[in-house]
Amino acid sequence: MKIELKEITVRELTNGYQDNNDNGVVGYGGQLDIRPPYQREFIYKDKQRDAVIDTITNNFPLNVMYWAVRDDGFEVIDGQQRTISLCQYVNGDFAYMFRYFHNLQPDEKEQILNYKLMIYLCSGTPSEKLKWFETINIAGERLTQQELRNAIYCGSWVTDAKRHFSKSGCAAYNIGCDYLNKRPERQEYLETAINWISDGNIEIYMSNHQHDPNANALWRYFQNIFSWVESTFTVKRKKFMKGIEWGTLYNKYKDELYDTAAIEAETARLIADDDVEKKSGIYPYILTRNEKYLSIRTFTDNIKQKIYERQGGICKYCKKHFELPEMEADHIIPWSKGGKTIEENCQLLCKYDNASKSGK
């Protein structure tokens, strides 16, 4: 990797700035590719963006940026967020301290446009550039694993997938925002969709589809998941439906036939059940019948002590004596059959018998 230090002005950087959305962002007279395929979307918040402009207007030093040298110009390796912040401000896309760039006095504009930026120009192979990108991108918002995967498997498939999954307010967000605690601009929607469709083999899936002309199969799959969710659980309860591994459930249960009225009645009953401590677990429980999803309320230590004294330390099943730490509280009438987690429905069993009973 050959590295050369170059000095340019904000005027030169912002000359010819264009944001063409999915078709890329350019500057520096059209010679600089500001958002190559492996780069993330613009994610700076207002405070971070303002900090860049504050640094420039006060003539403080801005961190050095890195460009890779290409046959047709340059591409940003590190500094995309700072570069776009500067270009957007000079372009009049936002105000700093309640003033747009075009509202500044001539001398104030010149001070900003003449500010000198330090750029390292890096020449090398594509793999060297990607490695360098991962190594030096440590300031500000760190890259996510999916952002790095997008770099490694960049191509027509990634470009089209990002169109569906990777922007604030994108199509995938409009469908999944009530069900996912994810941020599309950090590639979390895209990562989740690939993880589901590939059963966790994200990199294998991306490698196999890298040169596909589009990501239509992944997009249809994602839409099908939430169409299935809404047709199976007919009442939307946003509070409880977020964060569930819907794709994993869809993969296994999409072909089952369900009585949606019965599902809704059971969902309402379980939400009202004080013993169910994890309400979001109701949905996977209804499909799998595994009570682990519900975090059923356990008997308190005080109740356990009372029952231990009442039983004299004798296991209700094997009739042998055990110390309290060797015993476990058990529902006499199972929770699944309507038994409540109250003192009157508690018995103590030795760990072996409780495990044997749970397995039946």
**For residue 115, is it within any domain?**
yes
User: Can you read off the two tokens belonging to residue 89?
Assistant: 């401000």
Residues 309 and 349 in one domain: yes
Q: Are 351 and 316 in contact (CB under 8 A)?
A: no
**For residue 124, is it within any domain?**
yes
If pLDDT is split at 50, 70 and 90, which confidence band does 149 have?
A: confident
Sign, Cα dihedral of 277, 283, 286, 288: negative
Residues 68 and 129 in one domain: yes
Q: Are 75 and 67 in contact (CB under 8 A)?
A: yes
Of 200, 180, 186, whose CA–CA distance to 144 is shortest? 186
Residue span of the structural domain in which 340 resides = 301-358
pLDDT tens by residue, 172-220: 999 999 999 999 988 999 999 999 999 999 999 999 999 999 999 999 9
Residues 128 and 199 in one domain: no
Per-residue pLDDT at 77: 81
Residues 183 and 107 in one domain: no
Q: Tell me the mean pLDDT in the region 129-135.
A: 67
Cα-only R_g, the chain: 29
